[in-house]
Amino acid sequence: MKKILYITLTAVVLASCGGGSNNSVENVIASNDIGAIRAKQAEISKEQKALEMKLKSLDSAIAVLDDSAKLPLVTAIEAKPQKFDHYLELQGDVMTKQNVLIYPEMAGTLYRVYVKEGQKVSKGQLLASIDDGGLSSQLAQLRTQEELSKTTFERQKRLWEQNIGSEIQFLQAKTNYESQRSAVKQLESQVAKSTIRAPFSGIIDDVIKDEGTVVSPGPGSEVFRIVNLSNMYIEVEVPESHLTNVTPGKDVKVYFPVLGDSVSTKIRQTGNFINPANRSFTAEIPVPSHDGKIKPNLTARVMINDYTSEDAILIPQSIVSENADGEQYVFLVDADSISSDPVARKVVIETGKTQGDYVEVLSGINSGDGIIDEGARSVKEGQKVKIKNNI
């Protein structure tokens, strides 16, 4: 109706400015009479203003008679069940149980260092040796004495078995041999402390002391730092309210902001103790070395999958409103009412967990319902609306 009126009025304007008056305008222009041209211009301007007044009157009449012109314009989405994974986000640092400082077990001068920084070593490999202060020479002498006492004991034993000699001679030889053997073992243990060996396989991260440095057991005499990156993990503090949801085997996504990378893993174990200071328990999450990029003490954002629903209905949090009684609600329209007269219908809903911009609806909305999205806060219960998209 409105379009037809606009077309008719446009034709009238064209007829006034052109058509039968076209020659008159051309004649006025051709006359080169400035007064006549201005007079014609004033005449046409007057007619234009009169037509504009008529258009405004028609617009007002259309606005009164056409209810659809007042309807709020909204968009609608269809409720569809989908898998919903909720993640508990926590902060943690990468750790490793095989990141240790190696100290000397005896005092002395660091005689030789056999490894360098960045070198891979095996468990038990010789890393350095310390001047033993003559213990090796003493050990050689004791071993010689041990051999003598052993020979004496064996001969005395054979004589005793042939009933030759006294029992006291046999027992003295046996005691002397055992004493010498014990002394050798004791000194061997002391000499072994003059060597530093790798406690486990890994990488020499730092050589702290140089050859010729005097070292001794205790703080401040660290010689090496050795690290093994094959068994790293993240330990996070989990609030006790998630005790039943955060369990071993749960899927975890670990994001490293510095690297801009993430890995997928699972919870290896959870603590059996609630920390009374912050009411939390620990969860240990293993992480792979990932081509050596992941290092101990690297900051990580941990997302633990503490809840999953296979058929969840999710809606944007922005369309959920709340009434004076604290009830949450949204507006629905029938999914097949786009071609007829859709009406907004308010329904109270119960919401569950949120993830990002979406919230799970536990009740109040069924699969296939049309939910008003854009314009949801400008409609009222029972109000007709115009839907500008297909559900």
DSSP per residue, 151-214: HHHHHHHHHHHTT-S-HHHHHHHHHHHHHHHHHHHHHHHHHHTTEEE-SSSEEEEEE-S-TT-E
Task: Note whether 306 and 256 are within 8 A (CB).
Answer: no
pLDDT, residue 11, reads 47
pLDDT at 4 over 60: no
Residues with Cβ within 8 Å of residue 24, at least 6 apart in sequence: 40
| Proportion of the chain above pLDDT 70, given as a percent | 89
Strand 358-363 versus strand 299-316 pairing type: antiparallel
pLDDT, residue 127, reads 93
pLDDT at 132 over 50: yes
pLDDT, residue 21, reads 45
Task: Note whether 142 and 183 are within 8 A (CB).
Answer: yes
pLDDT at 64 over 80: no
377: number of CA atoms within 13 Å, CB side?
Answer: 9
Residue 44 dihedral angles phi and psi, to the nearest 5°: -70, -40
pLDDT, residue 66, reads 58
305: its two tokens: 């999958």
- Rounded (to 5) percent helix, strand, coil in the chain: 35, 35, 35
Longest dimension (CA), the chain: 164
Residues with Cβ within 8 Å of residue 358, at least 6 apart in sequence: 314, 315, 316, 317
Strand 261-266 versus strand 251-256 pairing type: antiparallel
| Among 30-39, 116-125, 300-309, 321-330, the least confident range | 30-39
Strand 76-78 versus strand 370-372 pairing type: antiparallel
Q: In which element (H, E) is residue 301 found?
A: strand 299-316
Chain segment 183-220, per-residue pLDDT in tens: 889 888 888 888 899 998 988 989 998 888 888 888 88
Residues with Cβ within 8 Å of residue 174, at least 6 apart in sequence: 153, 156, 157
pTM, whole model, 2 decimals? 0.59
Chain segment 11-48, per-residue pLDDT in tens: 444 444 444 444 477 887 888 888 888 888 888 888 88
Burial of 141 (0-12, 13-18, 19+ CB in 10 A): exposed
Measure the CA angle with vertex 43, ends 39 and 46; round to 5°.
Answer: 135
Under DSSP, is residue 68 helix (H, G, I), strand (E, B) or coil? helix
Residues with Cβ within 8 Å of residue 107, at least 6 apart in sequence: 214, 215, 216, 217
Under DSSP, is residue 335 helix (H, G, I), strand (E, B) or coil? coil
pLDDT, residue 12, reads 47
pLDDT, residue 238, reads 94
